[in-house]
Amino acid sequence: MKKIYSVLVENRSGVLCKVSGLFSRRSFNIDSLAVGETDDPAVSCMTIVSSGDERTIEQIEKQLNKKLDVIKVKTFDEIASISRELMLIKVKYNRNNRRDIMETCEIMKAEIVDMSKHYMIIQICDVPEKTNLLITMLQSVSVVEVARTGTLALQKCKDME
């Protein structure tokens, strides 16, 4: 079972280490992790995607809550959230596959954001499922490098009410 944890933490040095240390110490899995400041500079938001059985999922939330630098933990499914991932893919292209790549980008709503004679960088911002799909689609082309943010997620507005 996949779960998204939106964890508000004190924006202090060492906190990321404490949170990630908790996952390794209790052999919980991290599928993806994204960290950034919130509107309050004293607070950071960590979006952690993890998977496990029901007991593990519950333990992760409880153990996170035990950490003194953790202000709040929200747990939700992918369905109950709006989730996005930003990914940059650098590919090597040639005359023969250039059109194909552009078409794929168009279908996938990806954008070409940089280009040289042989290389281009494609940007996609979508749900993790789609970003993964784009990599699969580009498998036939030679992918040089991939950088991705990890999942960012917020609970859907209607679930808040």
Q: Where does this chain bind another protein (CB under 8 A)? A: 10, 14, 17-18, 21-22, 25, 55, 58-59, 62-63, 65-71
| Rounded CA separation 48/154 (Å) | 12
Collect all residues with Cβ–Cβ distance below 8 Å to 118 and sequence separation of at least 6.
92, 93, 94
CB of 55 to another protein, least distance (A): 7
63 versus 155: smaller Cβ distance to another protein: 63
Least gap, CB of 29 to another protein (angstroms): 17
**Nearer Cβ to another protein, position 43 or 112?**
43
Cβ closest to another protein, residue 63 vs residue 97? 63
Closer CB to another protein, residue 63 or residue 123? 63
**85, 126 Cβ separation under 8 angstroms:** yes
Nearest approach in angstroms of CB 68 to another protein is 5
Q: Residue for token digits 């954001």?
A: 113
Judge whether 61 and 52 are in contact, CB under 8 Å.
Answer: no
Least distance from another protein to the Cβ atom of residue 25, Å: 5
> Among candidates 117, 109, 112, which has minimal Cα distance to 134?
109
